[in-house]
Amino acid sequence: MATESRFKMSQERYDALKQELQYLETDKAKEVSEQIKEARSFGDLSENSEYDEAKTEQGKLYSKIAEIKNLLENAEIVDKIDNDVPKGAVTLGSVVKVRDLEEDYVESYTVVGSQEANPMEGRISDDSPFGRALYGHVAGDKVCVDAPAGELHFEIISVENN
């Protein structure tokens, strides 16, 4: 029996996915249906590129709907405080300021669930190598991240838990 994986996310992300699903199942589905209907009116379906494109779009839409439904069904809404870590430690929702010990630069990251991660915006997943390395540590701790580029060393400067 396979175990279902849970997707950690905030209530805000969950609500945004529900809203997106609602849009896809109503407005977007009607839009695609109209495209198919219009393409059918052009005649011979065997040589109708508009029809092929509309059916491809419909397939993508159904796939996206199934993906979002899976995320919602397996969502684990997490609050920002993890009671299993010491006070002031990095947990989900923490804003962490770190110094790269080799390159000597400082950056700030927010630790989020995998569904909300966007490293380009400073939002790192708690499941990523960097997120796992930081988790549970406090300001002043030095952490080593086993990354694809090799070992990276950081010092945690500050941890904000909202």
Question: Which residue ranges make up each domain of the chain?
Answer: 7-77, 95-160
Tokens 């899976």 sit at which residue?
A: 70
Residue range 121-156, pLDDT digits in tens: 999 988 889 999 998 899 999 999 988 888 999 999
Q: What are the distances in angstroms from CA 46 to CA 39, 42, 50, 103?
A: 12, 11, 11, 60
Q: Do the beta carbons of residue 106 and residue 128 sit within 8 Å?
A: no
Token duo for residue 88: 């002031």
pTM for this prediction: 0.64
User: Rounded to an integer, what distance in angstroms lies between the CA atom of residue 53 and that of residue 39?
Assistant: 9
Q: Where does 7-77 sit in CATH, by number?
A: 1.10.287.180
pLDDT at 153: 93
- Quick check: 108 pLDDT over 90? yes
φ, ψ of residue 128 in degrees (nearest 5): -75, 160
- Quick check: 82 pLDDT over 80? no
pLDDT at 4: 57
Closest-CA residue to 92 (of 118, 111, 116) = 111
Q: Do the beta carbons of residue 115 and residue 8 sit within 8 Å?
A: yes
What CATH fold (topology level) applies to the domain 95-160? Chitinase A; domain 3 (3.10.50)
User: Rounded to an integer, what distance in angstroms lies between the CA atom of residue 149 and that of residue 152?
Assistant: 8
Token duo for residue 127: 């499941």
User: Mean pLDDT across the chain, nearest whole number?
Assistant: 85
CA angle at residue 68 from 67 to 71, to 5 degrees? 90
Closest-CA residue to 64 (of 30, 25, 36, 27) = 25
pLDDT at 1: 39
